[in-house]
Structure 1
Amino acid sequence: MAEKNVPPYLRIAAELRRRIADGELAPGDRVPSTRRIAQEWSVALATAAKVLTALRQEGLVEARPRIGTVVAGPGAGDHGRTSPDGPARTSARASSSPSPASAQAHAPDRELTRDRVVRAAVGIADSEGLAALSMRGVAARLGVAAMSPYRYVNSKEDLVFLMADAVLAEAEYPRDAPAGWRSRLELGAHTLWALHRAHPWLAQIGPLTRPLAVPSLIAYSEWMLTALDGHGLDPATMLDLNALIYSYIQGTAVHLERETQAASATGLTDEQWMDSQAAAYGALVASGRFPTFAKVLGSFGDEGYDLRLDAMFELGLTSMLDGLTALMEGPGRARP
């Protein structure tokens, strides 16, 4: 097949396949994101998504939440999609110009459903971020026509709604609630934080002032409000406290998605980026203008300060619940 007749996504996939085969990209290395592919090869995001879908179906790459798409380890291709002829196993040294018949082999072998559309969208958002999500990208990931997902979802906005409900439904709340308001609030907060950890884009779904009316989010509120009920609080205060805790979780988790976006845009991990800022911070510390900042930062020595979101989340949650104690257990209030 003449090079000019090869679809752009196949030519790009062939180049990335070559880099993997030649060892330029080793197992575990990040491969270019859809946005980076679109920029480097001047193609649409949907085309870039088809590139990663083709390599993923071959078992050469795999999506990892909060990291992106990386080169798969040895044998990863053995766990790819299957056909009546057996597992899909494609060598990293395959031809640089796959034939149309090869491309057709990637067609889905199952009937398209709304659930498959939603799960494909969640997969893109988990690995690439919500900004990289598009209906065309979902179609490319599923290996179907660009307009096919619209038979099941009206728009991207509707899709995000369904995605949020699907991942929030992963939360499990025990029938036997922990004794005491604090233990119940802690469990609810930790459950929601874990979901944001698994799906960083979840913090981007909408402002606090425009909550989504999805059953699984109401289930979270039901759990938290039950913990606040029976302590003499008026309804407005109960709802305010529920929103306050939710906002704290969402506000902390938003940095998970932002870090994914920053890593994709710069190609640097958070540690690498901080290393690149060492000279600038050193100059600020040495200026003498910020003595307390210099003293605190200097106390860490050569190892420096490591911002750990999980530890910071725990500190903030503990402080918030400590502050609620007087409100929940003050004079005339019900004890846990």
Structure 2
Amino acid sequence: MSPVEESERPYLRVAAAIRHRITSGALRPGDRVPSTRQVVRDFGVAMATATRALAVLRDEGLVVTRPGSGTVVRAREPSRRAGRAPDRALTTERIVATGIAVADAEGLDAVSMRRLAAELGVGPMSLYRHLSGREELEHLLVRAVFRAHRLPEPGPPGWRAKLELVSRVEWAAYRRHPWLPELISLTRPLLAPEAMAHTEWTLRALDGLPLTSIEKTREALTLPAIVRGLAATAAAEMRAERETGMANDQWWVTLDDEVRALMASGRYPRLAAVAPEGVQDLDALLDHAVTRHLDGLAARLARSTPEP
């Protein structure tokens, strides 16, 4: 295919038009670029073409997709060749804070010792004076997040209010740092004192309840597992949005014809009646899951309460 024919491909024409708006200054760093749906409307192209055009700009480093903000013009990074910060200014705290910032913006895969060194303006080997490597870095990331999400002492009165609170605090941590579920394991947990404090706090909330020791242990593991499971779903959605440039509702638009055909077949009458908001609102799903779980625990406790 000749260069002229290549440039006439619809997705390249769309990418060129948006690129011109960025390079000319019409769209400035941080400004939102047209969404795939808007590109479809403004340029009269298919959704797949719009998606591919934005992918070209993303691959060129001109735009970046940020959860909750859509696709925006990427900020121009200052040149790091102008001089490096003296190693004595480097601290473990700065390295960890930078790692969290990169992970929040681009995901855990973007965090590497080389990337952090570039962000901090130091040589990569300088980091190894403070950290042994990636494993220790991940450990410190988890500790820093849980340190920022401490539980109050003594907490609200009543076991149920306490368990609701710990669930909300952990959910807030996961939502603020979508990469966190990747580093949390029930079977092979990191020995992070700040995270262990959450488990200790939860077990203390169960003190005095008519439950066996094994029931209390399972309760202290099951409730955070529910929260982490939903958080992992949210994290996967953010990762998909970052990689494809499409928000969840935009992705469903691309499948609209196929979904309509399946639902019209009559084979899935109950699925066809499902309200979309019941699936997509993860905060509401968390409320539902935690409430129903604690309802079950309350019923278990009621069976153990002596009759007046």
Range class of TM-score, shorter chain: 0.7 to 0.9
Q: Which amino acid aligns with 2:296?
A: G
TM-score of the aligned structures, taking structure 1 as reference length: 0.70
Q: Does residue 260 of structure 1 match 2:233?
A: no
Q: In structure 1, what is the equivalent of residue 6 of structure 2?
A: none
Larger CA deviation: 190-199 vs 232-241: 232-241
| RMSD, aligned α-carbons | 3.4
Tell me what 1:107 maps to.
Answer: 84
Q: Does the Cα contact within 8 Å between 2:66 and 2:242 map onto a contact in 1?
A: no
Mapping for residues 247-326 of structure 1, pairs under 5 Å: 247-294=225-272, 296-297=273-274, 307-326=280-299
- The structure 1 residue matched to 2:112, chosen from 114, 118, 134, is 134
Cα distance in 2 for partners of 1:320, 1:26 equals 45
| Structure 1 CA distance for aligned equivalents of residues 65 and 118 of structure 2 | 15
Rounded to whole Å, the distance in 1 between the matches of 2:171 and 2:277 is: 27
Q: Secondary structure, in 3 states, of the residue corresponding to 1:200?
A: coil
Residue 29 (structure 1) aligns with: 32
Change (3 A) 1:160 1:40: same
Contact 2:186–2:221 at 8 Å: present in 1 too? yes
Which residue of 169, 183, 198 corresponds with 1:205?
183
TM-score between both structures, scaled by the size of structure 2: 0.76
- Determine the structure 1 residue equivalent to 2:163: 185
Q: CA deviation at 1:63?
A: 9.7
Q: Secondary structure at the match of 1:209?
A: coil
Q: Distance in 2 between matches of 1:199 and 1:156?
A: 18
- TM superposition shift of 1:70: 4.1
Alignment partners' CA distance in 1, 2:148 and 2:255: 39
CA spacing shift, 1:305–1:275, aligned 2, 3 Å: farther
Deviation, structure 1 residue 104: 3.9
Q: Percent identity?
A: 36
Q: Deviations over 1:258-287 (max 9, x none)?
A: 122111221111121111111111011111
Paired with 2:228 and 2:85, the residues of 1 have a C-alpha distance of 36
The secondary structure found in structure 2 opposite 1:118 is: helix
Are the equivalent residues in 2 in contact too, given 1:25–1:71 (CA < 8 A)?
yes
Moved more, 107-116 or 160-169: 107-116
Structure 2's unaligned 5+ residue stretches are 1-18, 34-54
Confirm or deny that 1:195 pairs with 2:184: no
Question: Which residue of the partner structure matches residue 3 of structure 1?
Answer: none
Of 173-182 and 310-319, deviating more is: 173-182
Quick one: structure 1 residues 333 and 144, their matched pair in 2 at CA, closer, same or farther if it must change by over 3 Å? farther
**Structure 1: which amino acid aligns with 2:282?**
L
Q: Is the 8 A contact 1:197 1:253 kept in 2?
A: yes
Contact 2:143 / 2:195 at 8 angstroms: preserved in 1? yes
Distance 1:229 1:257 in 2: 33
- Greater mean deviation of Cα atoms: 189-198 or 142-151: 142-151
1:189 CA displacement: 0.6
Q: Distance in 1 between matches of 2:137 and 2:249?
A: 34
Superposed CA deviations along residues 210-236 of structure 1, whole A, max 9, x for unmatched, are: 111111111111111111111122222
Report the number of matched residues. Answer: 268
CA distance in 2, matches of 1:68, 1:130: 19
SS at match of 2:179: helix
Contact preservation (8 Å) 1:68, 1:127: no
Instruction: Please give the alpha-carbon distance, in whole angstroms, between the structure 2 residues aligned to 1:163 and 1:181.
Output: 30
Gaps of 5+ in 1: 1-15, 31-35, 42-50, 53-60, 78-91
| SS, match of residue 258 in structure 1 | helix
CA spacing shift, 1:277–1:65, aligned 2, 3 Å: closer
Q: Say if 1:65 and 1:199, in contact at 8 Å, map to a contact too.
A: no
Pair 1:171-2:149 in alignment: yes
Q: Deviations over 1:136-169 (max 9, x none)?
A: 1111111211222111111111101100000011
* Counterpart residue type for residue 327 of structure 1: R
Residues 1:331 and 2:304 are matched in the alignment? yes
Query: 1:177-220: per-residue Cα shift (whole Å, max 9, x none)?
Result: 21110001001110110111111111110432111111111111
